[in-house]
Amino acid sequence: MKTRPIQRTRLVPHTVNGKTEMVLDRYEVEVPVPPRDWDRLILNAVTAAAGLLVAVAVVWSTASIGDLLARVTIAPAAYAAAVAFDLAWILCMAVEWLARYDPKRAKLPRNMGHGALAVAMIAVGAHGWLAGQEAIGIIGAVVSGIVKALWTIVLRHHAKPLDDKTQQWVDKQRAEAGGELAMVAINRELTRARGLVDAEENALRMFPDEAPEPPEDEEESPEGIPALPMSGPMTIADAVRMAVSCGVIAPDAVLRYVRQVADANAKESSVERTLREVRKGA
């Protein structure tokens, strides 16, 4: 059995001048080397070769289709558009790779890739036919077909379909994670909306409605507002209604009254919102 040395560390006591400290001690051990995974090496080599063939097919198709389109437009635009023909089925293969554990999700990009490949092959064949080289056109079109077939074989070898129950479990987990991800955007939207509401309330609070003057014959408190009944306890809404019924609608005065008879910790924004609702209802 083959082995290889690896370095490890451990804490050991070390004493200098009568004082002991724990220090790192580095040492080597021999560990067995696992046998070479030839299956993985071959698969990696095949995958790399398939990727190289994709590059070759893209160059050939781009040259052929670009020359075809250059008959009716400028060369830079023609060759830029020619790249899209092969890039379409290559991107579909990439999405199919991402869905290799879910055959249902991989079906759509697989079919779309076949359709995009057919269009690219037809364009390459048309270029050869218009150039008077039908055989070369057919052979050139087959190049892309061979590369796509090879990649289909490689993808199927990499794919690991799940059994029905495991697939259902994965779908539920994916749906749950998707719901959590959606709630991030929804919570951001709600937070933005609440921020706009708060900003609107703050803007309106800077210009409070002028309170009407109380009747001259009504008894006034030392602060210049009508005397309010101090009976309690009552809710914030009841306290606001009582203040409004007594002719007190100044936000500061209503807030002081609510804190006296209803809730000593009542928030200013809640009291003002209730005051607006009561006045609107009145």
Mean pLDDT of all residues in 249-276: 82
Mean pLDDT of all residues in 225-251: 73
Look up residue 250 and give its two tokens: 């100044």
- pLDDT tens digits for 178-215? 888 888 888 888 888 888 888 877 777 654 444 445 44
Q: Which amino acid is at 87?
A: L
pLDDT value of position 231: 59
The answer to whether 96 and 155 are in contact (CB under 8 A) is yes
Is 0.75 topped by the overall pTM?
no
Q: What is the full DSSP assignment across the chain?
A: --EEEEEEEEEEEEEETTEEEEEEEEEEEEEEPPPP-HHHHHHHHHHHHHHHHHHHHHHHHHHHHHHHHTTTS-HHHHHHHHHHHHHHHHHHHHHHHHTTT-HHHHHHHHHHHHHHHHHHHHHHHHHHHHTT-HHHHHHHHHHHHHHHHHHHHHHHHH--PPPHHHHHHHHHHHHHHHHHHHHHHHHHHHHHHHHHHHHHHHHHHTSPPPPPPPPTTS-B-TTSSB---------HHHHHHHHHHTT---HHHHHHHHHHHT-TT--HHHHHHHHHHHHHH-
Torsions phi, psi for 197 (to 5 deg): -65, -45
Among left, alpha and beta (phi > 0; psi -120 to 50; other), residue 26 is beta
- pLDDT tens digits for 90-103? 899 899 888 888 88
pLDDT value of position 224: 47
Look up residue 245 and give its two tokens: 């019924």
Mean pLDDT of the chain: 82
